[in-house]
Amino acid sequence: MAALVESYGGRRKRFNLADKRREHPNACASWTDDLDAQLLTRFEAGDTVAEIASDMGRKESAIVPRLRKHGVDI
């Protein structure tokens, strides 16, 4: 897969999606209605962002904006 580009403080860094998915298996994967429901259920049950991210194979920095998208004040 071709290298993707992320922005870090004004500079760009290349990365390979396969490398990212070694640590976070669902990095850059699309969110489904079912995953959104799981996310909200877990957060409302009191699970931490770190726990949810780990179990869902995503970074914490992917979980927080998704919660905000659904109106969660975090």
What is the domain partition of the chain in residue ranges?
4-69
CA angle, residues 25, 58, 12, in degrees to nearest 5: 95
The tens digit of pLDDT for each residue in 26-51 reads 888 899 999 999 999 999 999 999 99
pLDDT value of position 6: 53
Q: How far apart are CA 35 and CA 30, in angstroms?
A: 9
pTM higher than 0.85, yes or no? Answer: no
